[in-house]
Amino acid sequence: MREYQVGLEGVRFFAYHGLFPEERILGNWFVLTVRVAKKTDSFTFERLDQTIDYGVIYEISREVMAEPVDLLETVVSRIAERLKTSFEGLTRLEIQLSKEQPPLGMLQGKSSVSIIEQIDL
């Protein structure tokens, strides 16, 4: 059996996630990477409906990123759940979300949350 992977890497969103009131007012830049996989018998794809459409992955991510929440963990878990209901047969997903310059007194850097889920079929 072969594995087919699709993803988005380093997609930037401006959003209003965070625990602090100023984060909900000022917002911040976030960087998202999503990878999903499923098993396949063939690597021959002729039609979009035979693939994992990364345009759908982007739309799910954009919609979830637009809803402010306190924790990055909430964002990535919501994206994961939406992906699992949107694509049949996923065997693995990886999501990483980073917040650029979180309000911790850092001059540079990111905070980051990642999840990796192996899905049993």
- Contact present, 51 and 3 (Cβ < 8 Å): no
pLDDT of 69-114, one tens digit each?
999 999 999 999 999 999 999 999 999 999 998 877 766 788 999 9
Query: Nearest Cα to 43, choosing from 83, 1, 7, 9?
Result: 1
For the chain, give percent helix, strand, coil, nearest 5. Answer: 30, 40, 30
Is the pLDDT at 35 greater than 90, yes or no?
A: yes
Distance CA 64, CA 11 (A): 14
Architecture, CATH, for domain 2-118? 2-Layer Sandwich (3.30)
Q: For residue 106, what pLDDT is reported?
A: 66
pLDDT of 36-67, one tens digit each?
999 877 777 777 777 789 999 999 999 999 99
Distance CA 104, CA 51 (A): 41
Q: In the structure encoding, which two tokens stand for residue 84, read together? A: 């699992």
